[in-house]
Amino acid sequence: MRVIAGTLKGRRIEAPSWPGLRPTSDKLRETLFNILGPRVVDTRVLDACAGTGAVGIEAISRGARHVTFIDRDSRAVDLIARNLARCAVVDGYAIIRADLGSEAQHLRHATDFDFIFLDPPYDTESAVLAGAVGDWLAAEGVLIIEYARRTGAPGGIEGLRRTREVTSGDSALGFYVKM
């Protein structure tokens, strides 16, 4: 795994050493950031169910002002910290260990994100988690959910409308905005 573009281009990102964590592929991250383009510069980004932190680190590399990483697994939180250190990122981020499913209401201070990237385990009910973090979007913000292509895009997310869907291999991205 590596940073695709920006100031950290080419930096290696450590992959997990345990089963059950499915990092977003380089190809899918490249597709995501090609879609977002220069809109990432000077934004606030939430990398939820962050795993390796690759999406958030890519956002930092491409000019995001601040990235908040959230994951429930302490191993993932440690891995994110190691990957940030590997990339020599020393500020402009926060790492929070929390379970979005049960603790989202306690994280209400995390609001007004321009982009929220949500990559829960594929067997998780993405719509529930999306509903929990959807209120944290800025007025013109975008929620991006990664999901298994075979299951289809999460629908029926209260207060959000899907505007785009992109597939790559076995994965897909759904783009949602506030209604």
- Each residue's pLDDT tens digit, 115-145: 999 988 766 666 667 777 888 899 899 999 9
**What number is the average pLDDT over the span 30-56?**
95
Q: Could you tell me which of 110, 131, 146, 128 has the C-alpha nearest to residue 178? A: 131
Per residue in 57-77, pLDDT tens? Answer: 999 999 999 999 999 899 999
Q: Is 80 exceeded by the pLDDT of residue 18?
A: no
Query: Which residue segments constitute the domains of the chain, with CATH numbers given?
Result: 26-178 (3.40.50.150)
Q: Strand, helix or coil at 163?
A: strand
CA 80-104-60 angle, 5° bins: 35
Model confidence at 109, in pLDDT bands (50, 70, 90)?
A: low
pLDDT > 70 in the chain, percent: 89
Which amino acid, 55? V
Q: What pLDDT does residue 132 have? A: 72
Report the alpha-carbon distance of residue 152 to residue 86 in Å, rounded.
Answer: 35
Is the predicted pLDDT of residue 101 greater than 70, yes or no? Answer: no
3-class SS letters over 44-98: EEEEECCCCCHHHHHHHHCCCCEEEEEECCHHHHHHHHHHHHHCCCCCCEEEEEC
